[in-house]
Amino acid sequence: MDDIILDVRDISKIYMQGKIPVNALHDVTFYVKKGEFVSIMGPSGSGKSTLMGIVGCLEKPTAGKVIIDGIEVTSVSDGQLPRIRREKIGFVFQHYNLLNSLTALGNVELAMRFSKVSRQERVERAETLLKKLGLGDRLNHRPTELSGGEQQRVSIARAMANWPAIILADEPTGEVDSKTRDAIVETFKLLKSRGQTIIVVTHDPDVAKHCDRVLRIVDGTVVDSD
């Protein structure tokens, strides 16, 4: 099992809504191998985003274990989580979440600042990534000057910046047209062909059909994996 990069075991997450406990996830168990392109599908409110948050070390589960690249991230202290997020996870969000005050290059470069990468290397790496994703002529454009597809590609470049173990994409095609969606999927396939592990949360079967595996989640638990 050396090739398993993400191991999720018996995850539960209970939120308190006022005084009422809400069972967002229960007994979620699955794994993802290195270099796999996996999608997580499920209806709204099924717990997909909560699962992404836990796998992305943005929040902790109520019970269970998450092991990323050999590290049991659910047992490390809060102070160590930022380093794990920097080194192991690259996020791609539905709303791109780029900083409007920065250029495309600045947004990608920003991700490496917290990893103490030198300025020269940050700029070189950001330029290379953006050029590989077809944004060589958009380096100095701000997000407001880019199309939805371009913004999402900047977001993907940013996720790639620290060479993470896993890219976690939350509805990355949720706000784009079909042409742009296909371009984004092609980008993920390109990254997969280079050995990158990608997990995509999506509603869209046209995205899921390109994945190696699809995990279906209903009412807070994984019901199917194919």
Partner 1 sequence: MFDIIIRSATQRKVRSGLTVSGIALGIFALVVMGAMSENFNQTFENSMSLTSDKIRVFAESGMFGGGLTDDKVPDVKRVPGVKDAYGILLTTFDEDQMGMSGKQIFALPPEKSRIALDPVKLKAGRFLEPGDTYQILVGTSIAGEYDLQIGSKLEIHDKNFTVIGILEYTGSFFDSTAAIPLETAQDIYNLEHSLSTIFAVPEEGIDSDILAKRIELNVKGTSTLSPRELQEQASQSLLIFSVITISSALLAAIIGGLSVMNTMLMSVTERTREFGILRAMGAETKDILLITLGEAALLGIIGGLLGIGIGSAAVYLINLWLAGKGIILFAITQRLLVVALLFATVIGTISGLYPAYRATKMSPMEALRYG
Burial of 223 (0-12, 13-18, 19+ CB in 10 A): exposed
Stretch that binds partner 1, among 54-62, 64-72, 121-129, 186-194 (CB under 8 A): 54-62
Report whether 73 contacts 67 (CB < 8 A).
Answer: yes
Q: Does 115 interact with partner 1 (rule: CB under 8 A)?
A: yes
Q: Does 102 interact with partner 1 (rule: CB under 8 A)?
A: yes
Other C-beta atoms lying within 10 Å of the C-beta of residue 16: 8
Comparing CB distances to partner 1, the nearer of 41 and 111 is 111
Q: Does 22 interact with partner 1 (rule: CB under 8 A)?
A: no
Number of residues forming the site for partner 1 (CB under 8 A): 23
Comparing CB distances to partner 1, the nearer of 47 and 56 is 56
Q: Does 15 interact with partner 1 (rule: CB under 8 A)?
A: no
What is the DSSP annotation of 29-75? Answer: EEEEETT-EEEEE--TTSSHHHHHHHHTTSS--SEEEEEETTEEGGG
CA distance 162 to 168: 13
Which residues make Cβ contacts (< 8 Å) with residue 54, sequence separation at least 6?
A: 11, 13, 25, 60, 61, 66
Stretch that binds partner 1, among 81-89, 122-130, 140-148, 174-182 (CB under 8 A): 81-89
CA distance 21 to 75: 23
Q: Does 113 interact with partner 1 (rule: CB under 8 A)?
A: yes
Which of 51, 55, 69, 91 forms a contact with partner 1 (CB under 8 A)? 91
Comparing CB distances to partner 1, the nearer of 42 and 143 is 143
Q: Does 121 interact with partner 1 (rule: CB under 8 A)?
A: no
Comparing CB distances to partner 1, the nearer of 4 and 84 is 84
CA distance 154 to 136: 11
Reduced to 3 states, what is the DSSP secondary structure of residue 168?
strand
Report whether 220 contacts 46 (CB < 8 A).
Answer: yes
Comparing CB distances to partner 1, the nearer of 71 and 102 is 102
Q: Does 64 interact with partner 1 (rule: CB under 8 A)?
A: no
Q: Does 162 interact with partner 1 (rule: CB under 8 A)?
A: yes
Comparing CB distances to partner 1, the nearer of 97 and 225 is 97
Residue 24: enclosing H or E segment and its boundaries?
strand 20-33
Give the binding site for partner 1 (CB under 8 A): 53, 56, 58-59, 79, 82-83, 85-87, 91, 93, 97, 99, 101-102, 110-111, 113-115, 158, 162
